[in-house]
Structure 1
């Protein structure tokens, strides 16, 4: 990452903000760190030898499907709908997605939903049923089963454990 002037500038801004005791310092630091992460990810060489979301986003067609999932995780996505968003046949989309991202589209969707659910549960501003609905489950019990299978513990336990 050396020689990336944008990264250097952002690191300098973060350091300056850390040293200063200006109003809204925390908010500014959060935004600068978000930008720093984005720029670091953008600066990484994207290589087909390393599947992942960044490789998927580098593919224009797959990026459309990934953005659709990320923008609306509660939608009842099907491979056919995602393939349509990517302007590919279902089989071509499935193979291309799996090769680029490293997992099948529905596994990516599940992973994204569970990551969002974990954040919402940590935040403690919503009940489990609300989290379930927000991430695309029609019932709290279906969500609880999926979450428990994915995380290894029920959502209520996960939320309570975050207090410790």
Structure 2
């Protein structure tokens, strides 16, 4: 039954990443910037020098030149200088000063910079972004990856330009940037590590077969037994391995993915309720409506009207 499909690309495409800003930052001395808006995905490329990611739970990660950090939905962390700093935090309400050349300065205002960074935010316009983000690691660090540095440079260049189709180009670049960063977690030479989620599942050769089949045929009559056969594992082994690596039970993942696809289809005005139900594996509109209402908290028709009435970002 297996056809080739790329679950990671599907998830990132459904997330609909949109650019908010990219900043070139230089720093010297002691400084700390708190990141407190989880609705904004944060990324950072270290061009020169060193700095740290500080978790609120006390953990810290040292970043060096060439490293790239992606935080799709990380709560409670700060980007800080390598040296100890007891001063006040900068945050979205207290941004760093902007220099005449458009760059931003952290720490000591004078003297040569000790650290150069490219940092940015993007948002996810998907109505099911919380679900999709739960499939991804909350923080991913990739060591010395030149392809990511090139992509960040392109995002920065495009964000400063006022060329035609700028927003479309930025959206496509961000999709590529996110995919490149996420798939680097499966590259043993990238020094990356992913928490339980889709990436860990795809890194497991057996689970990857089941995941790709599920994504290729979301409307198929999947069961625990049929998914286990795709992975060439017993049902008990498949269940435990899937839950350990992906972080949720297989049938819960299937339901969540079907609902994410259904939300996208419902926002296409030409798709009828019957067609949506069939495309996500339900035998009738009524059984789909019951499942969707239980999952989303409101019936499919109300969901579609509500989403279309929301203001665009």
Report the TM-score when normalising by structure 2.
0.48
Relative contact order higher in (CA < 8 Å, ≥ 6 apart): 2
What runs of 5+ residues in structure 1 fail to find an aligned partner?
Answer: none
- Which residue matches 2:224? 79
Q: Which of 163, 182, 186 in structure 2 is aligned with 1:41? A: 182
| Larger-gyration structure (1/2) | 2
Q: Which of 163, 179, 186 in structure 2 is aligned with 1:21? A: 163
Pairing 1:31–2:172 present? yes
- Which residue matches 1:103? 248
Pairing 1:159–2:304 present? yes
CA displacement 1:15-37 (0-9 Å, x = unmatched): 33342525x65554333221111
Q: Residue 117 of structure 1 contacts residue 135 of structure 1 at CA under 8 Å; is this kept in 2?
A: yes
Q: Residue 148 of structure 1 contacts residue 155 of structure 1 at CA under 8 Å; is this kept in 2?
A: yes
Measure the CA separation in 2 of the matches of 1:99 and 1:53.
Answer: 11
Write out aligned runs for 1:1-150 (5 A): 1-2=67-68, 3-18=144-159, 19=161, 21-22=163-164, 25-44=166-185, 45-47=192-194, 50-150=195-295
Greater per-residue helix proportion = 1
Report the TM-score when normalising by structure 1.
0.89
Measure the CA separation in 2 of the matches of 1:46 and 1:112.
Answer: 24
Greater per-residue strand proportion = 2
Measure the CA separation in 2 of the matches of 1:95 and 1:145.
Answer: 29
Measure the CA separation in 1 of the matches of 2:263 and 2:145.
Answer: 33
What runs of 5+ residues in structure 2 fail to find an aligned partner?
Answer: 1-66, 69-143, 186-191
Higher mean Cα deviation, 35-44 or 69-78? 35-44
- Which residue matches 2:84? none
SS of structure 2 residue aligned to 1:129: helix
How many aligned positions are there?
A: 161
Measure the CA separation in 1 of the matches of 2:269 and 2:211.
Answer: 27
CA displacement 1:63-87 (0-9 Å, x = unmatched): 1101111111011111111111111
